[in-house]
Structure 1
Amino acid sequence: MPAIVGIVQVNSIGSSGVFHIGDVYQIAPTSTAKTYSGAGSFNTGERLYVYNNRSKTNTYDKDVKDQGNVLNV
């Protein structure tokens, strides 16, 4: 069923976001990311004690290319 839409103001859309007005069959945004973080980086909670005196994050990627988003719908 068609929609009647009035004035729309868009301030920003992220790199993998979708802005659509009207009828649609399928919307499938995709994105990829590679994240490097040290030991204890994603810990959450109260009274958290993490001791990493000698922590090192290895960011070397010998295969250079990772899996892409082609045909990932």
Structure 2
Amino acid sequence: MPAIVGVAQVISVGSSSIFNIGDVYKMMPISNAKTFSGAGSFNTGDGMNVYNHLSTTNTYDSDNIDQGIWLNA
């Protein structure tokens, strides 16, 4: 169903974002990322105490092949 849209001010749009006004059938933002994280990296909360005395993160990728995003349609 069509809509009447008033004024829209866009300050910025991210590199893998979509900005659309109006009718749309399919929207597919595409991006990929590789995240390395060590012990206690994604802990969230108020007043956390995380003790990781000897912690290392192995970031060596011997094959350099990851899952592709070209078939995500």
TM-score tier (shorter)? 0.7 to 0.9
C-alpha distance 43-25 of structure 1, shift in aligned 2 (>3 A): same
- Give percent identity, aligned residues only: 64
Residue 50 in 1 paired to residue 43 in 2? no
Residue 65 in 1 paired to residue 65 in 2? yes
> So what's the TM-score if we normalise by structure 1?
0.79
- Counterpart Cα distance in 1 of 2:46 and 2:12: 34
Structure 1 residue 45 displacement after superposition:
2.1
> So what's the TM-score if we normalise by structure 2?
0.79
Q: CA RMSD in A?
A: 1.7
Q: Match of 2:41?
A: 41
Give structure 1 stretches of 5+ with no counterpart: none
Work out which structure has the larger RCO, using CA pairs closer than 8 Å and 6 or more positions apart in sequence.
Answer: 1
Q: Match of 2:26?
A: 26
Structure 1 residue 9 displacement after superposition:
2.6
Structure 1 residue 6 displacement after superposition:
4.3
C-alpha distance 23-47 of structure 1, shift in aligned 2 (>3 A): closer
Task: Give the number of aligned pairs.
Answer: 73
* CA offset digits 1:45-66 (Å, max 9, x no partner): 2332221111101110111121
